[in-house]
Amino acid sequence: MSYWGRRKAVELAPRMPMILARAHSYVVAERSAPATVRSTLTADRVDIHSDRATHEGYFLTRTYGLTHPTFAGGQSAEVAREVFVATDASIVLPYDPVRDRVLLVEQFRMGPFGRGDPLPWVLEPVAGRVDPGEAPEVTAHRECVEEAGLDLRALEHVSSHYCSPGCSTEVFHCYVGLCDLPDLKTGQCGLETEHEDIRTHVLSFEDALNLTRTGEANIGPLVLLLLWLERERPRLRSLA
């Protein structure tokens, strides 16, 4: 509603999917992770002195002026903090426990490109935004169909975590998806309506794990999921 009187409906229409997805993430955030080691200080102890949107496009950035409780007691000095207000995302590493192989997707990514990386095409798990009202598990199944043409038999939840808590609200829900993988080593997938240009790679587990040793696996969730799978692989293969 902060757009009321400032933006025309025709301007907001293309942004509505992201607006609603951010709202959905805000509601889900109320179900916080346990606090057995970290502080139990709650968000209502933070005093907000100013709050403004410094970028309003498909993406949203907000700048806060705030004070917060300190570990020494009392409140901090007022600080300015910018935050990239993002959505939740589901991330899936498809794994075939019978043939012991995984599927990775490759696509052009703005992050590496904007950083100046000479190789901005990267290897990743399947991933996609959690749509409004959608459970992360449903997103995981949907994205595997859209990005890789795969129907998953089951999901193994690995973690739900902030990807960059110093500057972003984005949360990744990470899974290993059990499925039958095709014999093709590479393929092409993606939705034209979302301008996706995706190449898929089917690798043996050992070849995929080796990417973490060479550094070619340079996307955090891929490294996390491969290392988790290294630990849990014997169990998953025994159940296949």
Residues 6+ apart with CB under 8 A from 71: 39
| Residue 93 three-state SS | strand
Give bridge partners of residue 202 from the DSSP assignment: 103
Measure the CA–CA gap between 59 and 86, rounded to whole angstroms. 7
Measure the CA–CA gap between 90 and 175, rounded to whole angstroms. 8
Give the H/E segment covering residue 103.
strand 101-108
Told to judge if 194 belongs to the known catalytic residues of this protein, a careful annotator would answer yes
Which one from 11, 194, 206, 216 is the annotated catalytic residue?
A: 194
- For helices 220-239 and 205-214, what crossing angle results, to 10°? 150
Looking at the annotation, which residues are catalytic? Answer: 194
